[in-house]
Amino acid sequence: MSESSQRVAIVTGAARGIGAATASRLADDGFAVAVVDLDEAATKGTVEAIEAAGGRALGVGADVSDSDQVTAAVDRIAAELGPPVVLVNNAGVTRDNLLFKMTDSDWDVVMAVHLRGSFLMTRAAQKHMIDAKWGRIVNLSSTSALGNRGQANYAAAKAGLQGFTKTLAIELGKFGVTANSIAPGFIQTEMTKATAERIGRNWEEYVAERAAAIPVARGGVPEDIAHAVSFFASEGAGFVSGQVLYVAGGPRN
Ligand code: NAP
């Protein structure tokens, strides 16, 4: 495929975890991939893995909650890689605490990265999709959207992303753009490792305990989510929009 005809995808928070696996998967699917994360140097591993597999990638440092940084990042991606027509809003943080201990900052940071970040990235990228009359937006929600102890902030943000997604689907559908959410259950990444550490749990024991409560009897891996993103980003998924796909090894975990 020539560089000019290759479709371009952006994955945020793609230095590691679900974002890194998704970036690699979309590159395997034939997209040129912008690997966006807070620190450009941290994207090197993902970019090199994609290039080693024969793909095209560009590492871009940006805080998705900062409007100017988002505008600069999307402009740079369009100039250096091509106009982005796939956007995966994956960057995320947790600031877990029971409600009575949750600080203003715990609330604001989680809202800023998940909700404001997805809004800013989508607003900046959608014009390229509308010009192309084709686009795919995938937002990372969570089973926590259904409610999760210690995550009032995160649950609200992840439920908010589902409403955001459905609205994008309604507004952008006539331009050939779909928007869908993926709500992962327990996925083994640095994010869940940090949770285990914070509550003083041994990681292997924690994974085994979580797996025991999951119908398919294992914890998820980033590639499980990348596979679902790959479906939503595919040509054939053009009639699937405004959906929330729970990828959790069962109905809930
Ligand atoms: P992760 O390993 O913590 O990776 C998240 C990445 O996002 C990190 O590289 C982080 O960079 C980056 N990031 C954080 N804030 C950012 C910002 N403001 N701008 C740009 N990048 C930023 O997380 P993960 O487990 O792969 O999770 C990925 C997504 O899936 C998140 O939205 C998460 O909420 C969601 N999710 C995860 C699970 C799970 O079980 N793991 C379940 C449901 C949903 P730094 O390292 O520099 O902070």
What span, in angstroms and rounded, lies between the C-alpha atoms of 76 and 100?
Answer: 43
Q: What is the pLDDT of residues 195-253, one digit of tens each?
A: 999 999 999 999 999 999 999 999 999 999 999 999 999 999 999 999 999 999 999 76
CB distance 224 to ligand 1 below 6 Å: no
The percentage of residues in the chain with a pLDDT greater than 90, rounded to a whole number, is: 97
Active site residue 154: yes
CA dist list (Å): 109 to 58, 122, 149, 172: 27, 19, 18, 28
What domains appear along the chain, each with residue ranges and CATH number?
8-185+221-246 (3.40.50.720), 189-219 (no CATH)
Q: What is the pLDDT of residues 33-50, one digit of tens each?
A: 999 999 999 999 999 999
Residue with CA nearest ligand 1 atom 8: 13
Residue with CA nearest ligand 1 atom 35: 140
The tokens describing 158, both together, are: 């992840």
Q: What is the pLDDT of residues 72-113, one digit of tens each?
A: 999 999 999 999 999 999 999 999 999 999 999 999 999 999
Is the whole model's pTM more than 0.95, yes or no? yes
pLDDT at 253: 67
Pair 55, 93: CB distance under 8 Å: no
Rounded to the nearest integer, the mean pLDDT of the chain is: 97
What span, in angstroms and rounded, lies between the C-alpha atoms of 194 and 198?
Answer: 6
Q: Using pLDDT thresholds of 50, 70 and 90, give the confidence band for residue 5.
A: confident
What span, in angstroms and rounded, lies between the C-alpha atoms of 93 and 157?
Answer: 11
Tell me which of 31, 107, 119, 154 is the catalytic residue: 154
Q: What's the N-to-C CA distance of the chain in angstroms?
A: 41
pLDDT at 88: 99
pLDDT at 232: 99
CB distance 181 to ligand 1 below 6 Å: no
> 118 C-alpha vs ligand 1 centroid, how far in Å?
12
